[in-house]
Amino acid sequence: MDDLDPFARLAAATRRQNAEGDLPDFVVPLLLRVAENPRDFRGREDLVTLLIQEVQEYETFSNVCCEKIGFSLEDIHRTLDRLGVGY
């Protein structure tokens, strides 16, 4: 897969944010289910691209202050729900 492939980018962003950021371990398998099964999500690349942005800009406390900063776990789960991916 090349660098422009959204599924490869999602896998890389997920692993990076989990290792270096605050992305919780329990959501990683759901994100990798999307990243590792591009055939299942063909035609839904717009939502995969949204997931990449949400993962890259994930903030544990995104909703704490008066304005929303980054994306929350709720945002990621909402997009996963739209893709039909859940626990």
Q: What are the helix (H) ranges across the chain?
A: 6-20, 28-35, 45-56, 73-82
The whole-model pTM stands at: 0.88
In the block, residue with structure tokens 């626990």: 87
Distance of CA 25 to the CA centre of its chain: 12
3-state helix, strand, coil in the chain (%, to 5): 60, 0, 40
- DSSP 8-state symbol, 14: H
Tokens of 58: 């994930």
pLDDT tens digits for range 1-56:
446 899 999 999 999 999 999 999 999 999 999 999 999 999 999 999 999 999 99
Residue 67 has pLDDT above 70, yes or no: no
